[in-house]
Structures are given as C-alpha cells and as structure tokens.
C-alpha cells in the first residue's frame, strides 16, 4: 500500500492563505468539479434534470447558483460546471451521471482546476480585478459567473456577495495565478 | 475592438480568436457530384469586400461559442453579432 501525502495545487500540505492589506487570498482545494453538457436534442431534458439534481433552476446565462451542497455555474449554452465540497461528493461526476442519465455528457474536472477565494471590501476587490481581467466588477451582480483571462490564463470567475470573488484557474498554472492575484492585491494596498 | 456578444453583452475582442469568412459555414457535400470543384471554390475563393464583411469569431476565453460577426472592414464598426449555430440552422445546416 502506498503512503502518499496529498499536496494542494500550490504544492504545500496545507492550503495557502495570505492577507494583503484588507484583501485576503485563500487557496480552496476542497472542491470537486464536473461539467455537464446537454446532448444534441436533449437540451430541455438536461436542464430539467440538472434543476432537479440541484434543487434549483439550472443557472441561466453567466449565472452562478451556490447551493447548500451542489452548486453550479453556466459555462456555455446548454453547458454547466457543477461544484461540491470534496467531503460531501468525492465522486461528483459518477453521482451526476447517475442523476442525469443519458441526456447529458458529464466530465470529471476536479483535477483540472485550482480555486482561490478572494475576500475584502467590495471597492478594493473591484479595483484589484480591474488590474487583472476585462470584467467590470462594479457592474457585475452577485451570482455572476464568467470565464475571462487573468495573466494569459483562462479562468472562471464567480462573483459572490459583496467583495467575495472565487477564481477557478488551470491547476497547472496555479502558482502563476496565485502570483498574479498576489501582485494585484499588493498594488492596491 | 468590442464585440457585442448576443448572450454575454459587450466583450473585448482580445477574448476571441478569428477564423475568417462566414461562408466557411457552407461546407460542400464531399460525396456529391463535382465535389472536388466545389471544395476548390470553398477553400480558395473569397470575396474581399471594402465594407460589410461577415466573419467567424470564436469566443475562446468566454463561453466558447462561435459567432458570425458583421464588421465594416473600412471602419471596423461591428454592425451585428449572431450565434453561428443560429445562422447555420437558419441556412438549414443544423441537425
């Protein structure tokens, strides 16, 4: 039996956290992800099945549903990313496949992405992201989800309440993403 | 340049990649009579208008949709942006 120690995307045993001025960056490794895409001609059935699984409507264009356990955000027409805490749904993709049946293609995405949660006063966080990406944060409502580019990395950005923003970036570029976030947070102190 | 995405609203052109003339949607039937000639025209013959031009853009760093964007090649003004899926279906190409 192998005795392997799990590492986070940033290569440490415990998730990193850093407070820069009033903004806090926190690596959030405990998230399972799976993408759900409707099969051709099954769009309505897939949206209905996903809504039933989530216990809320399938998120509309650029929307994010937090959910108590299962959450989801819109990534493309008839396509969503579903997220859940690892501890609650370690086999998220298999769970969704069972729930959704043949109307959807479900792809395991957990190990492709690394998540970082940014919190702080809303105007400061908005200024920070103005330096990082094209999105106009003060214009985006809470519960908005968009893919955007941060330092050449394609990232998903979820806008929570107030100054809470979660960023999913490619796991292979987690350190570059962390560096970009850190640098932007420092530049507004 | 700002592209008015039909679903997501105004998006920076930096998020997109450009493919070319929207007539690329009209791919000929490879099994039909005279397919070689049809493919020659499809592949090599393009209009090069000074004015309105319909072209395919891919929203790579966004929702990954293909758009048909109508752009004025003289002024870079973007007149219209549609989902390529809708355009293809309207032309009877969708399944």
Give the mean model confidence (pLDDT) for residues B28-57.
Answer: 94
Which of B14, B64, B95 comes nearest A76 by C-beta?
Answer: B64
Low-confidence ranges of chain A (pLDDT < 50): none
Which among A105, A53, A102 is positioned nearest to A79, based on CA atoms? A105
Give chain A's length.
189
Amino acid A5: pLDDT: 87
pLDDT bracket for residue B92 (50, 70, 90):
confident
Cβ of B95 within 8 Å of Cβ of A40? The answer is yes
Cα Rg of chain A, angstroms: 17
- How many angstroms separate the CA of residue A171 from the nearest CA in chain B? 16
pTM recorded for the entire structure: 0.91
pLDDT per residue over A66-100, tens digit each? 888 999 999 999 999 999 999 999 999 999 999 99
Amino acid B95: pLDDT: 62
Give yes or no for residue B94 having a pLDDT over 80: no
Q: What CATH number did the domain enclosing B81 receive?
A: 3.30.2270.10
CA closest to A135 among chain B residues? B11
Share of residues in chain B with pLDDT > 90 (%): 94
Interface test with B, best of A43, A144, A154, A167 (most B CBs within 10 A): A154
Write phi, then psi, for B2 (nearest 5 degrees): -110, 130
Query: Which structural domain range is residue B55 located in?
Result: 2-25+34-90
Confirm or reject CATH 3.30.70.270 for domain A17-29+112-187, answering yes or no.
Answer: no
Amino acid A162: pLDDT: 87
CATH 3.30.70.1520 region(s) of chain A?
A: 31-110
């Amino acid at each position: 039996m192998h005795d392997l120690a799990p590492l986070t995307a940033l290569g440490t045993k415990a998730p990193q956290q850093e407070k820069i001025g009033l903004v806090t960056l926190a690596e959030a490794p405990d998230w399972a992800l799976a993408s759900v895409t409707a099969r051709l001609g099954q769009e309505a059935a897939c949206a209905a099945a996903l809504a039933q699984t989530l216990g809320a409507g399938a998120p509309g264009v650029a929307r994010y549903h937090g959910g108590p356990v299962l959450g989801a955000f819109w990534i493309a027409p008839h396509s969503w990313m579903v997220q859940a805490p690892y501890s609650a749904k370690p086999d998220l993709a298999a769970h969704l496949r069972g729930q959704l049946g043949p109307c959807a293609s479900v792809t395991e995405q957990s190990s492709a992405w690394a998540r970082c949660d940014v919190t702080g006063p809303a105007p400061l966080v908005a200024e920070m992201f103005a330096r990082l990406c094209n999105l106009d944060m003060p214009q985006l409502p809470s519960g908005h989800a968009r893919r955007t580019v941060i330092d050449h990395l394609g990232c998903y950005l979820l806008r929570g309440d107030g100054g809470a923003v979660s960023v999913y970036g490619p796991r292979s570029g987690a350190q570059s993403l962390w560096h970009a976030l850190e640098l932007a947070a420092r530049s507004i102190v | 340049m700002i592209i008015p995405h039909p679903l997501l609203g105004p998006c920076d052109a930096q998020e997109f990649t450009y493919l070319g003339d929207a007539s690329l949607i009209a791919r000929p039937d490879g099994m039909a009579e005279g397919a070689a000639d049809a493919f020659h025209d499809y592949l090599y013959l393009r209009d090069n208008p000074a004015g309105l031009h319909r072209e395919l853009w891919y929203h790579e760093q966004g929702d990954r949709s293909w758009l048909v964007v109508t752009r004025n090649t003289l002024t870079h003004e973007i007149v219209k942006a549609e989902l390529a899926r809708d355009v293809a279906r309207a032309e009877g190409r969708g399944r």
